[in-house]
Copies of this chain bind each other. A is one copy, B any other.
Amino acid sequence: MFTLDPAFEATSAPLTEMWLCSVRLQLDARWPWLVMIPRGEALVELENLYREDRLALTDELIRAGQAVRAIGEAIGRPVEKLNIGQLGNITRQLHFHVIGRRADDAAWPGPVWGHGAAEAIDAKTLRTMQDAARRVLG
């Protein structure tokens, strides 16, 4: 049975359910950032996914990238490069980060993970980001 690690609740908000993944918006105003969590039991590494689910995973990661770009447009900071990461050093449940990067962002050209502290998203911007992402993700 799929159970979401509570650690995700503290740092992200639910956006939608895709065929394979639960999609969440990372609550950090510095980047348009989605977290994709495949709904499966005891998944930790990519190799734990069924092979037939891995193609869906890449479909959904690409769609997440489009949503991240839509968020960037909606908040007036168009995305220049996508970053994808599957780390899980802190939260082991298998998850993939899809992040929109710009040369003027806080961590460029380094990775975003562990870079300073998350910045709160105000309610109006959060709504703008959610709407933009949902238009792409359905």
Contacts and interface: CB of A to CB of B under 8 A. Distances in A.
Contact of A89 (B109, B113, B114): B109
B61 A89 contact: no
A89 B89 CA distance: 22
A108 interface: yes
Interface string A37-73: 0000000011101010011011101100100000000
Q: Is the interface of A mostly helix, strand, loop or mixed?
A: mixed
Contact of A87 (B46, B83, B90): B83
Interface of A: 45-47, 49, 51, 54-55, 57-59, 61-62, 65, 81-90, 92, 101, 108-111, 113-114
